[in-house]
Structure 1
Amino acid sequence: MAMDANEIERLIKSALPDSTVEIRDLAGDGDHYAAVVVSEAFRGKTRVQQHKMVYDALQGQMGGDLHALALQTSVPES
């Protein structure tokens, strides 16, 4: 079963309420997405820690309903 882009955004924003999230469906199949997530919560964290925060927000959907997520994370520009 594919995962909807709106659901991905909802899950990320519920875990990182201050975030801005952009989701693109890369293949049109609902399984392969690209996401850009900007959040103050990432400040001081390594890229690996930032990505883990996003994957944790997806509540175990990675590898299941969501096959692939090309992820870019950053903190807001000052």
Structure 2
Amino acid sequence: MTFIALTKPQMRGLLAKRLRFHIVGVFAVSLGIAAFCKFAVAKPRKKAYADFYRNDDSMKEFEEMKKAGIFQSAK
């Protein structure tokens, strides 16, 4: 009967080695999420606001609401 020699488990520096690996992974994932939020949420939202306010005429809307009788104090 022959025995296969097993390698000894690493005991010293194991935490530091695992932390290094996980910190790099977490940094990469967080950068990906930040980029996704910027390009998928923030940029389209800014563009939508810019488009809305480019064509917005608040005085025209006010006059239409005044004609409709929404405001009681404005005549």
Q: Larger Cα Rg: Structure 1 or Structure 2? A: 2
TM over 0.5: no
Higher RCO, 1 vs 2 (CA within 8 Å, ≥6 residues apart) = 1
TM-score by length of 1: 0.19
- Structure ranking higher in helix proportion: 2
Q: TM-score by structure 2 length? A: 0.20
